Amino acid sequence: MDNPEVPPDNNQAERSLRLAVTKRKVSGGSRSMERFQHTANLLTVVQTCRRQGRSVIDFFAQAIIADSNNYQSRPSLLPQY
């Protein structure tokens, strides 16, 4: 309440969940907890890339290439400081 940089509402958090809620409604949900976790992980990557202004397709392409070539260095979602 005292920090003017922190918004007084949680609209951004609610907007971030919108993709997951829409996907759940359209697909009818997950049939297993394992599938639910995979979907949540993928949607987390998508939303994080969007928030960082990064290409989701480029991120997944880099991750697949790194995995298929057994590279030690894989793309990261952590911001570079």
Residue 4 covered by a domain: no
Residue 30 and residue 27: Cα distance in Å, rounded? 8
Residue 81 covered by a domain: no
Number of neighbours of residue 47 by Cβ within 10 angstroms? 17
pTM: 0.67
List CB contacts of 66: < 8 A, sequence separation 6 or more. 73, 74, 75
pLDDT tens-digit map of 13-35? 777 777 777 877 777 777 788 88
Domain, as residue range, for 54 = 11-68
Counting the structural domains of the chain, the total is 1
Mean pLDDT, all residues of the chain: 83
For the record, the structure tokens of 58 come out as 């480029």
